[in-house]
Structure 1
Amino acid sequence: MEGGESSVTRVRLRDGESPEGLLRRFRKKVTQDGVLSTVKRNRFFVSKSEQKRIARRKAVRRERRRLWREERGRYR
């Protein structure tokens, strides 16, 4: 659901399916569709410059973690 795209997550009750099973399938579909992560991400306005800053920090952290794992692997 990117760029103002809107959709409704639907799950229909199957023959002989319990309400618990229906709820389980619904939760799984919501997770797969990324509905909750989208809502969390868009909860507050974040400017473009702040988004870039966050992305840079994530990239640095990812690289440090990769190097740390690489170094750690040499001594095992």
Structure 2
Amino acid sequence: MQILVRDNNVDQALRVLKKKMQREGVFREMKRRAAYEKPSEKRVREKAEAIRRARKLARKQAQREGLIAAPKPKPRPVRAPRPAAVI
């Protein structure tokens, strides 16, 4: 994973890094590995994750086929264009 630091703005780069790690599930994985997980708990968790994935897949399939309405897209904030670099 690579994050570019623009204009020595480390705070913004850290925010971007944390967001990427959150999206990829790194924090969830670290929390899960922090303590021992019993095999029975692992089976329950993995089964719940599989059910969640199957439901998500079925929901997306139903949206594609038009059986259920797709969620409304979130409005995106308009960002000002970045100033050109001066060399």
Query: TM-score scaled to structure 2, two decimals?
Result: 0.41
Higher helix share: 1
Question: What TM-score do the two structures reach when normalised by structure 1?
Answer: 0.45
